[in-house]
Chain A
Amino acid sequence: MSIIEMVLIALVYLGIFSVAGLFLVLLERRVAAWFQLRIGPNRVGFQGLLQTMADALKLVSKELTGTEKADKFLYNLAPYFVIITALMALGVIPFTKDFQAFDINIGIFFLIAISSIGVIGILLGGWASNNKFALIGAMRSGVQTISYELSVGLSLLTMILLTRSLQLSEIVEVQKNGWLIVQGHIPAIIAFMVFMIAGTAETNRAPFDMVEAESELGAGFHTEYSGMKFAYFFLAEFINMFLIAAIATTVFFGAWLSPFGITESIPWLGVFWFLLKTLILVFLMMWFRWTFPRLRVDQLLTLEWKYLLPINLVNIVIMAFVVWQNLIIQF
């Protein structure tokens, strides 16, 4: 692949996903409104479709303010860390057989690694802001991400016992005989539940939004950010949510494979199936957000270290047993 080709693909991804992220923000706002018996933004464009575009334009045109004693270099670097890692991870997601920018043989490992770099951006932003709320928020983010990274990794590892490959295209290939959540039955369902809980915590969304807990910390780590830099953090949160849902789709629900192979002859429909599955999972995360109350820090750590981690470890052993005895359900 030549450099120019790479740059072009990067630009295309950047364009598609920054717009897609904006629409996710809109979706979240509409869904939130429906959960609360409100209507939500419906004025700008048909059914408010252009609302977040207008918001983004407003944020671009705003003045960038910052604290006087902030560490200027790190302060400006932080939002880029967060957004770039979020966009980088999208490169390995298989939208269809051909629509995958970067099919490396350590795909899952790459995803886990990249998604934990994002937290460095949050830590940098919190530290460099020179603000106590931002610092507390960033430290909480560190605690949370380090803890829940374990569960994300282990639940994906459980599924890798089934697929015997880290490469995402291979993982999809294995699922042609039934999605992994069916193939792996009980341990796979447990792994999926653990992954969704840990994934929600990874993206710092409610009920795990200790990082920006409005009632305690103002806006958390991005208290001191404004304008476009704030928009980067905001967009990154939504791209990360999409990413967690996309990983779950790929690993548990057969990525771009259609249910029972009903549209196998039309390969480009894979994008539709992939996005449909992903959006259902995104909706599930929004449902969590507008239902559950926020956890305390100690409850957050109890959940991870006393519940999710032991369950996960036992689950891996069960999955190993299932694979060893060949108790997999395949069509």
Chain B
Amino acid sequence: MSYFSNIFYGIKTLLTGMRVTGKYFLNSRKGAITQQYPDNRGILKMFDRFRGEVIMPHDENNEHACTGCQKCEIACPNGTIEIIWDRGLDEATGKKKKKIDQFVYHLSLCTMCGLCIDVCPTDAIEWGQNFENSVYDRTALTRVLNKPDSKIRPGVED
């Protein structure tokens, strides 16, 4: 009698499906995944693995972790990163040492592949959460990531 068992199986599975969607319907008030973007700009938090742009975090002493090794510049497939470097006197040892002058980042060339961040030996650069990158002039997309007068954090070696 597979005819009747077919009917009952059909009805049962349909009701199971309706129970699932019904549960979603009742919980939609609490769990809506829609972001009402321009309105919630203040509280909108992007997820951890979001690839917005490359940033170089600085600590409170205006120090970063970039040694100027240029591994990121070599890893970058499309020339997004340009490091202008110099040699300066290291205060601790008194020897001449490579240091960055300007870490230039062309956001308009970047494909967010993340190779530079993977390759960085000192974790000097990482992903930023900012996604509002529209500008009126494309020169605004070329950024210097190290802040003015910043220097390398003492003890960071690659």
Contacts and interface: CB of A to CB of B under 8 A. Distances in A.
Given A37-B33, A39-B34, A39-B36, A292 B28 contact: no
Main secondary structure of the interface of B (DSSP, over half): helix
A109 interface: no
Interface in A31-63: 31, 33-39
Contacts of A287: 18, 21-22, 25
Contacts, number: 40
B7 A34 contact: no
A34 B36 contact: no
Nearest to B32: A39
A37 B18 contact: no
Given A34-B28, A35-B28, A307-B7, A291 B34 contact: no
Interface residues of B, number: 16
A190 to B, nearest CB: 11
Contact of B25 (A35, A39, A292): A35
Given A34-B28, A36-B24, A292 B7 contact: no
A288 to B, nearest CB: 8
Contacts of B22: 287
Interface residues of A, number: 15
A33 B25 CA distance: 9
Interface string B19-33: 011101101100111
Contacts of A34: 24-25, 28
Interface string A4-39: 000000000000000000000000000101111111
B66 to A, nearest CB: 42
A292 B14 contact: yes
A272 interface: no
A99 interface: no
Contacts of B25: 31, 34-35, 287
B17 interface: yes
A321 interface: no
Contacts of B24: 34-37
Given A37-B33, A38-B33, A38-B34, A291 B18 contact: yes
B36 A292 contact: no
Contacts of B28: 33-35, 37-38
Interface in A184-205: none
Interface in B1-45: 7, 14, 17-18, 20-22, 24-25, 27-28, 31-34, 36
A290 interface: yes
Q: Which of A31, A288, A291 has most chain B Cβ within 10 Å? A: A291
Given A290-B21, A291-B21, A292-B14, A38 B32 contact: yes
A267 B21 CA distance: 37
B31 to A, nearest CB: 6
A290 B27 CA distance: 15
Interface in B26-85: 27-28, 31-34, 36
Contact of B32 (A31, A37, A290, A291): A37
A292 B11 CA distance: 12
Interface of B: 7, 14, 17-18, 20-22, 24-25, 27-28, 31-34, 36
10 contacts: A35-B21, A37-B31, A37-B32, A39-B32, A287-B25, A288-B18, A290-B21, A291-B17, A292-B17, A311-B7
Name the 3 nearest CB pairs between A and B, nearest first. A34-B28, A39-B34, A291-B21
